[in-house]
Structures are given as structure tokens and as C-alpha cells.
Structure 1
Amino acid sequence: MRSMDTPALSHRSAPPTSFGDHLRHWRQRRRFSQMDLAHVAEVSTRHLSCVETGRASPSREMVLRLVERLDVPLRERNAWLVAAGFAPMYRARPLQDPEMASARAAVQRILECHEPWPALAMDRHWNLVMHNRLVPLLMAGAAPELLQGPVNVLRLSLHPQGLAPRIANLRQWREHLFERLRQQIRATGDAVLVALLEELKGYPEGTSATAGAQQLALPGEHPGVLMPFQFHTPHGVLQLVSTTTVFGSPVDITLQELALETFFPADDATATALRGLQASTAA
């Protein structure tokens, strides 16, 4: 795995405009020298240098090869193609677009099949897009303004008037979410995510009902391997672990940026409580 550029957490001074600007920006973000990139892209260092400085124009094939080697997000790949004088290749249709009906149905099916455990789908800015029946039950009690669309999952989770007071291991979970957000910023350079991280860092750390107390631990937990989500409910503290799933080979920008967060019970008591919650939705 390539290391990421730490300065990527800051705002860009100016967005890239020419193809060479795009190439230089992402090459430096991925910490490639011109020689390294030329090697993996199977072009000469001299030609790559000429393309980056604007003395030569890339072919469409070369543009696609470079964005692939640099793991450029689909949204940015369109900008590269346009800057090089070619038509955009990837579409960005809203999930509610009729042409996205099959993809939308597939996501909904995954979420529903995950019941009685909670599952949700988010866009690239952590806005809630879809969810199964368990999610609203866990969101209940948050301030109404935090539940107005689009609901931002991170803001809802960490805001003192959101779910934060009910998260038993708030400080631990907060740092876990911050690290995930930092990784996403390093990968995409998204200014909206940079602003979101700064906002979240301003929220108080000790709003959990167990703030200052020893954090609960899952049997067999290994720091850095398994991160528990411990959540107060009328049925007791739910012990959950989560996984994140993305589409493997999307050709649509919306689908590439969609993430499915699925939670699993980490003990029998949590499984029983979640089954009880599911039964209440059918009553």
C-alpha cells in the first residue's frame, strides 16, 4: 500500500486547472516521483515530464493509464479527461434516478437482509442515503434538527445533542471515526470532508454517559483490529462491531462513493436486544 501525503489534510490553495496541474497534484499526493510514476505507467520519464509541464499532450489511453496507476477517484478522472481535451467517461446520476433503479434495489436488499442488525448506506460526505428498519430506532431521541435531511451520520453520532451521550465508549469511537475521516481526506482531498473534520473536532469529548469511567471492553478485543461500538439503550448497552462495504468495480461516480455500514452483535445479549427491537417494528 502506498503511503499518503500528510499535507493533504489541508485545503488546496487553488484547484488544478490544466492537465499538468492535475497530474502534478495527484502524483505528489500519492507520493510518486516522476521516475516512479513513469515506471509503473510504462512511459518514459522525459515524456511524463513534458506532459506535466504542458510541453506535450497526453493521449486518452495515457490519461486513463495514469489515473488508474494513481488511484484517482472517478469524479476526478472526469476532470482529467476534460482538461486533456476528451469527453468525460463516468456518469454521476443521483441514486433516485430511474436508471439507477437496479442498483438502488440491490442496496436496499442488502440492508434489509442484514436485519435484525442495523445497516445503512452513506454518500461520500457521510450523508445518510438509505437504511434498514433498525437504524431509526437507534437514532430516536436525537435533536430534531440533526435528523433533518440530509442527515450527516458523523455529525449525528458525535454531536452532544445527537447520539454522543448514549455512546458508552465515546472517546474511543470518536477517535476511530476521526481516523477513518482522515484516511478518506488523504485519499480524496475533499474540502467538504476537511471542513467536517474541523467541525467534529470542536465537539466536546466527554458527553458520554460513562465519560471519565473505564471503557467497556469486548472479550478478546485487540486494539487496532476490532473497534467496538457500545451504545446505551433501554435494553442495556449494545455491544456492536461494524464493517464497511463499497462496490468493487463501479463505472458510476455515485456508486463508487457509496459506502454500506453494517453492524453486528458482539455478544448474545446484544443479539437478543436487537431481535426485540426488530419485533417492535413489526408490532
Structure 2
Amino acid sequence: MVMTVDTMRRPVGEQLRGWRERRRLSQLELAIEADVSTRHLSFVETGRSRPSRDMVLHLAERLEVPLRERNRLLLAAGYAPAFQENSLDSASLKPVAAAVRQILAGHEPYPAVVVNARSELLDANSAVGLFLGDVAPHVLVPPVNVLRVALHPDGMARNIVNLPVWRSHLLERLRRQIATTGDPTLHDLLDEVTGYPGGEHPDGLDASAAVALPLVYRHAGKELTFVSTLATFGAPLDITVAELAIEAFYPADSETAAVLRSTTAAS
């Protein structure tokens, strides 16, 4: 189910059925999970019964529908949105922004970035400059998209030693995100980045990676090896917060750690 303008105009029952099918649940399975009768769920999906506001939110919660799409379900059912969307620099999200900055600063001298649900760069620490030194200016025109930066032939890709494997990892992650959210913007991004050269590993894995898939990056004539983590905020009630992700890179060996420390000390 791709979220288009036509999709958002569809009755709420059809949209709920779409999300159920996306999650590969039968009516019976969802009814049991949501503690409602299959008859009532069937009536909701076919439009024979108008769900209450609480029922829309209840089903959306069980279906793990993103907050942005929950608002759209509510609007389709004739109710006001339940979740706000504030800018990260707004007064209401000041504590969140402060926490993000603390995480970024605390992670130095190792690189870390903050992105939204569309992989657009919202913030980064100074150590990320190591990845951006050879990136062409046109790839960094705002809004900067980190997948484009990573995979564009004029971006990081030219220095990623294990590009086919890392590219496979990023593309598979994007495909999973599309499967979860149905965001049409992500479909467009996938079409774009899959058109870049670089190849893909046949099974998307690196057999030499004993613990986690590494990023091997060439910098100043040296090959630096990183592993990364992806963190999100727990129990968010704001769309912006729900869509934030912090990707932090860690040195996978002592040589990489030493280069990062010396780079920071020299700056």
C-alpha cells in the first residue's frame, strides 16, 4: 500500500484494511490482538460501521501505524488529528533538541548524525566532517539526504571500500522502511539511489563480518572501519520526535579509533 493523495482520500475502513494487509494479518488475527469481534472489524473495514475515535487509535496502535498515518486515519474517519508535529527548534521540543545535542557531543570524536523518517539530515556532530571531505558540493545542497550522500558517485561512495555490501545494507534498510510506512517519498528515493552505480552483494552480507556489518571508509590514505547503531526515542507523542533517528558510528578497531582521536585533537 503506497500512501498517495488518492489513498488518503479513501474511507478509513479501506485504509485500515490496507494496513492490516501490509502487516500480513488476517481479520481474525487482528481481532484477537485488538480484542474486538471479527464481525465488528469486518463492518469497520467495509464501511458498514463507523469506528469511534478511540477504536481508530486502538486499531492503529495494534497495527503499529506511524503517528503521521494515524492522524490521516483519524481525518478519514471524520475526527481531528491526535498527534502534533513541531519543529525540532520549537520551544515545545527544546528538551528533545537538548538531548539530541548532548548525545551528538558526547559521541565525539566518533561521527553521529540525526535524520528524519525520509533520511534527511537534521543535525550532526563535528566528527561527521571526516565522511564529507570528498563529497561534491551539489550532493550537499539542502535538504541533505544521508542516503544520497552515502551512495551518490560524487558522494561518500567513491571512498567506501566495501561499497557493494554497504550499499546492499542501506538499500535493504530503506526497503524495510518503505514496507513499514508506505511513504511515497521513500519510493522515489529508492528509485533514485538504486540507479546509482556501485553494485550489490548477492546476499547483502559480508561473510568476513564476525559481529556486525562494517563500513570500511578510505580517508587520508587509510582504511577506517566502523560499526554503527541506530537509536530512536521511546514512546513518542509528537510526529517529529517519532521520526527522529540517531545513527552513531563507532571504530571497529584500534587503528580507526586512533585516527579519529588524532583528527579531533588536530582540529
Aligned partners of 1:235 and 1:142: how far apart in 2?
16
Matched, 1:26 2:19: yes
Aligned partners of 1:162 and 1:201: how far apart in 2?
14
Residue 248 of structure 1: aligned partner? 234
Select which of 153, 160, 166 maps to 1:167: 160
Aligned partners of 1:13 and 1:19: how far apart in 2?
14
Select which of 15, 30, 33 maps to 2:7: 15
Runs of 4+ aligned structure 1 residues displaced above 4 Å come to: 10-13, 215-218
Residue 186 of structure 2: aligned partner? 193
Cα 1:235/1:109, change in 2 over 3 Å: farther
Aligned partners of 2:107 and 2:222: how far apart in 1?
21
Q: Give the TM-score, by structure 1 length.
A: 0.88
Aligned partners of 1:216 and 1:235: how far apart in 2?
23
The unaligned stretches of length 5 or more in structure 2 are 200-204
Cα 1:62/1:232, change in 2 over 3 Å: same
Matched, 1:102 2:86: no
Matched, 1:127 2:113: no
Name the SS for the 2:50 alignment partner.
coil
- Give how far 1:12 is off: 5.9
Q: Partner letter of residue 108 of structure 2?
A: E
The unaligned stretches of length 5 or more in structure 1 are 1-7, 207-214
Kept in 1, the 8 Å contact 2:206–2:213? The answer is no
Aligned partners of 2:3 and 2:48: how far apart in 1?
28
Residue 135 of structure 2: aligned partner? 142
Residue 233 of structure 1: aligned partner? 219
Aligned partners of 1:216 and 1:74: how far apart in 2?
35
Kept in 1, the 8 Å contact 2:16–2:45? The answer is yes
Residue 90 of structure 1: aligned partner? 83
Aligned partners of 2:261 and 2:138: how far apart in 1?
29
Residue 265 of structure 2: aligned partner? 279
Residue 202 of structure 2: aligned partner? none
Aligned partners of 1:216 and 1:85: how far apart in 2?
49
Name the SS for the 1:142 alignment partner.
coil
Residue 5 of structure 1: aligned partner? none
- Give how far 1:137 is off: 2.9
Matched, 1:264 2:250: yes
Number of equivalent positions: 261
Kept in 2, the 8 Å contact 1:27–1:33? The answer is yes
**Identity over the aligned pairs, expressed in percent?**
49
Q: What are the Cα deviations for residues 141-199 of structure 1, in whole angstroms up to 9, with x where unaligned?
A: 21111112111101011111111110010011000001100110000011111111111
Select which of 36, 42, 53 maps to 2:35: 42
Kept in 1, the 8 Å contact 2:53–2:79? The answer is yes
Aligned partners of 1:89 and 1:174: how far apart in 2?
37
Q: Partner letter of residue 235 of structure 2?
A: S
